[in-house]
Structure 1
Amino acid sequence: MSFTGFPEAALDFYDDLEIDNSRVFWDAHRDVYRDAVAAPMTALTAELADEFGDAKIFRPYRDVRFSKDKTPYKTHQGAFVAVAPATGYYVQIGAPGVRVGAGFYHAEPERLAFLRRAIDDDLHGAELEKLVDGLQRRGWEIDGDRLKTAPRGWAKDHPRIELLRHRSLIANRDYGFEGIIHTPDLVDEIRAHWRQTRPLLDWLVQHGG
């Protein structure tokens, strides 16, 4: 199956799911999820796999065991291509439209220590700073879980303190409702944008221990 775009029905499905996140709604619209969301996402990631690798398409069900929010279904559909633990490329569709990302969303303490030592290094840290600045200039938003202050053992006036504060680091780009999300051209758009983030992922893999 070739990717032909996400239909309007995919956006409508998530609009409605945000209002009625219930099993009754899901069971009544299971075929819409299958045809308008799951099948196009599978086709999209399959066409990108030749260059980036196979994607994990996340299940639509939320893990509510330890959450106060007991709504059973995710209000978006994501897919992730791993290049290292918790590190890789991401694509998502939901009520706000389509967005893509790349980076690392979690790091165990040992790995985070490796990354921070590389950020501290004048050569490697400056390289990451340049990569992040370059992505921002090209329209990427740099996000992630960040400490409110300096990590323990690091000076608050460190020249790269903003990078040191990251416990995760993700470059995001939002396509929203742009017409391209409904067309086959979305494959090439994502391919081009993921390529822009490859040096960032290479840095994270190289310096993540």
Structure 2
Amino acid sequence: MFTGFTDETVDFMWGIRFNNERSWFEAHKEIYLEHFYRPMTELADEIYAFLREQRPDYGLVRKVTRIYRDARRLHGRGPYKESLWFTVEQPSEQWTARPVFWFELMPEGWTCGMGYYMPRPVTMAKLRARIDRDPGTMEKMMRALSRQETFVLETEDYRRPKSAAPSALLEPWYRAKSFSIVHSDKLTDALFSREIVDWLKEQLPFLLPWYDYFVTLDADPDPRDL
């Protein structure tokens, strides 16, 4: 059961940022396992069980990232990540084609939300085509998003919109190359107790209708073939 991250968790994250090398990590590996990886896994297990209970037919799985960076993608960075995250998602051969729930802890703070990591262009094309067919559903969801203050829509945009949006409310989706609906915060006291579990269980259900909308997107026809 998750009981909270600790001061040692934070110290380790800052330590690996400024000492990102094998000798430092090996000397502090037990701290990493006990105060970072273990509580992250326990938190992941609880949130996974909660979301699976909300959507039992989705076959959701949970994944906790490894601290080791892919050696092929270091790009001058050290071999270790300074943050950890977990995801809850449907398994898929094309993992960028499915949305995920996530929680991430970093030296400066934490984030959680739902979205895609580097979705394929065809995924976003399917999204625009679905909105074209039924703009009202997305407009209703966007109005609900604007009425609350926990989550915000963040997008990485193309230089120009891919096509004209049906309404001003929907314009962000016609510029978006990728997106997430995210909550960001500092290292709040909630992280160091079970309060963060209660907070996530209270807030994440807002994202379930969004997940329902996107999780079936990969099965839509490719609009480029129509």
Q: Whole-Å Cα distance in 2 between the matches of residues 4 and 185 of structure 1?
A: 9
Structure 2 match to 1:73: 80
Query: Which structure is higher in RCO with an 8 Å CA cutoff and minimum separation 6?
Result: 1
Change (3 A) 1:33 1:143: same
CA contact 1:13–1:33 (8 Å) conserved in 2: yes
2: distance between equivalents of 1:133 and 1:83? 27
Report the CA distance between 1:67 and its aligned residue: 4.4
Aligned with residue 120 of structure 2, among 104, 108, 118:
108
**Aligned equivalent of 1:118:** 130
Contact between 1:105 and 1:144, CA under 8 Å: does it hold in 2? no
Give the TM-score of the pair, scaled to structure 2.
0.81
Q: Is the partner of 1:35 in helix, strand or coil?
A: helix
Separation in 2, partners of 1:44, 1:14: 17
Look up the match of 2:49.
Answer: 50
- Residue number among 61, 66, 79 corresponding to 1:59 in the alignment: 66
Matched letter for residue 149 of structure 1: R
TM superposition outliers: structure 1 runs of 4+ over 4 Å: none
Matched, 1:155 2:154: no
CA distance in 1, matches of 2:166, 2:212: 27
- Cα distance in structure 1, aligned partners of 2:48 and 2:165: 42
**How far has the Cα of 1:23 moved from its partner?**
1.1
- How many correspondences in the alignment? 204
How far 1:157 sits from its partner (Å)?
Answer: 8.8
Partner residue of 1:92?
A: 104
Query: One-letter code of the match for 1:20?
Result: N
Residue number in structure 2 paired with 1:32: 31
> For the Cα contact (< 8 Å) 1:64–1:71, is it kept in 2?
no
Aligned to 2:203: 193
1:62, CA displacement in angstroms?
Answer: 1.1
* C-alpha deviation, 1:109, in angstroms: 3.2
Greater share of residues in helix: 2
Q: Secondary structure at the match of 1:187?
A: helix
- Contact 1:76–1:95 (8 Å) recurs in 2: yes
Q: RMSD of the TM alignment (CA)?
A: 2.1
* Pairing 1:1-20 to 2, within 5 Å after superposition: 2-20=1-19
Structure 2 unpaired stretches of 5+: 53-60, 92-96, 221-226
- Give percent identity, aligned residues only: 23
Correspondence for 1:173? 183
Q: CA deviation at 1:156?
A: 7.7
User: Does the CA contact (< 8 Å) of 2:153 and 2:182 recur in 1?
Assistant: yes
Task: Say which SS state the counterpart of residue 177 (structure 2) adopts.
Answer: coil
Gaps of 5+ in 1: none
Moved more, 59-68 or 155-164: 155-164
